[in-house]
């Protein structure tokens, strides 16, 4: 479904992403794990067109998207839940979801909004509330719900567990599995390698802009080097 080949991204003179290639097949949950600053968010931003790779290609559903503007990429069914949630704090929950619907038909919006509310009942209770008054966990739910409004085939999640209490992290990961079961392919970027590898099919380990290891998620969970570096021994 998604194929990244020879991605090289620079911030000025800094070579942030070094010749990375990976793929995500339809129906998979794939995770990119790595420490802070390894380049995980940069990869997602490049896929969704906010940054550009100097070389290589990005293919989504057999179309090259590495020269497509980001607002057109969403329309093709690739949604990106950015790091730090980035919900529109001054807009209501419902308006945030309407923004998620921006590329989609208005006639079926309410149906899809109800679907989102079914995944996140808490959002329905707070639909008139301004997003800035939500808790961190609720904002994460809203960010994910907003992305779901665009009917994505592939959902990219950047650190959905960041800053959340352990109980909420578990809840968010349950929802990720729920979404996966409903047919959404997922590319998950996480620092919480343990949780990410538990739900994922496959994983890539990222170190300072390079992929150093890739395997089935179960194998990575059992891998000594991974355990030592990311899973606290």
Partner 1 sequence: MLLVSQLINGLQLGSIYALVALGYTMVYGIIKLLNFAHGDIIMVGGYIALFSLTAGHFHPAVAALLTVGGCTLLAVILEKLTYAPLRFAPRLSLLITAIGISILLQNVAQFFFGAAPRSLPYRELFPVGSVTIGEFSIAYTSLVTIILSVVSMVALTILVQRTKLGKAMRAVSEDTEAAQLMGVNVNNVITFTFAVGAALAGIGALLYGARFPLVTPTIGAMLGLKAFIAAVLGGIGSIPGAMVGGYAVGLLEVLTVFAGLSRWTDGLVFLVLIIVLLVRPTGLMGRKFMEKV
User: Using the rule CB under 8 A, which residue among 98, 115, 201, 207 binds partner 1?
Assistant: 98
**To the nearest whole angstrom, how small is the minimum distance from the Cβ of residue 147 to partner 1?**
8
User: Using the rule CB under 8 A, which residue among 6, 103, 191, 198 binds partner 1?
Assistant: 103
**To the nearest whole angstrom, how small is the minimum distance from the Cβ of residue 74 to partner 1?**
4
Structure tokens at 185: 């392919």
Provide the mask over 46-65, with x wherever binding to partner 1 is found by CB under 8 A and - wherever it is not.
Answer: --xxx---------------
Q: In what order do the strands lie in the sheet with 14-24?
A: 14-24, 2-11, 57-60, 63-64
Q: Does 212 bind partner 1 (CB under 8 A)?
A: no
**To the nearest whole angstrom, how small is the minimum distance from the Cβ of residue 227 to partner 1?**
29
Largest distance between two CA atoms of the chain = 52
Q: H-helix or E-strand containing 10?
A: strand 2-11
Q: H-helix or E-strand containing 95?
A: helix 93-100
The number of residues that bind partner 1 (CB under 8 A) is: 35
Q: Does 86 bind partner 1 (CB under 8 A)?
A: yes
**To the nearest whole angstrom, how small is the minimum distance from the Cβ of residue 70 to partner 1?**
5
Q: Does 135 bind partner 1 (CB under 8 A)?
A: yes
Q: Are 100 and 109 in contact (CB under 8 A)?
A: no
User: Using the rule CB under 8 A, which residue among 26, 37, 114, 132 binds partner 1?
Assistant: 132
- CB burial class (10 A; 0-12, 13-18, 19+) of residue 70? middle
């Amino acid at each position: 479904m998604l194929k990244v080949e020879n991605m090289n991204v620079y911030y000025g003179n800094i070579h942030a992403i070094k010749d990375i290639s990976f793929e995500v097949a339809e129906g998979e949950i794939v995770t990119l794990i790595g420490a802070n600053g390894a380049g995980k968010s940069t990869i997602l931003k490049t896929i969704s067109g906010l940054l550009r790779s100097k070389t290589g290609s990005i293919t989504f559903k057999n179309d090259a998207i590495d020269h497509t503007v980001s607002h057109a990429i969403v329309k093709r069914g690739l949604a990106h839940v950015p790091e730090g949630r980035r919900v529109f704090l001054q807009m209501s929950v419902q308006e945030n979801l309407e923004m998620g619907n921006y590329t989609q038909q208005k006639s079926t919006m309410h149906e899809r909004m109800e679907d989102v509310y079914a995944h996140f009942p808490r959002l329905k209770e707070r639909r008139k509330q301004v997003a800035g008054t939500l808790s961190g966990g609720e904002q994460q739910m809203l960010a994910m719900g907003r992305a779901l409004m665009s009917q994505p085939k592939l959902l990219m999640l950047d650190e959905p567990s960041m800053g959340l209490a352990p109980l909420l992290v578990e809840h968010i990961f349950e929802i990720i599995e729920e979404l996966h079961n409903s047919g959404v392919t997922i590319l998950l970027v996480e620092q919480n390698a343990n949780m990410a590898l538990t739900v994922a099919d496959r994983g890539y380990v990222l170190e300072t802009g390079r992929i150093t290891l890739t395997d089935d998620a179960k194998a990575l969970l059992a891998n000594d080097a991974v355990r030592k570096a990311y899973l606290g021994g």
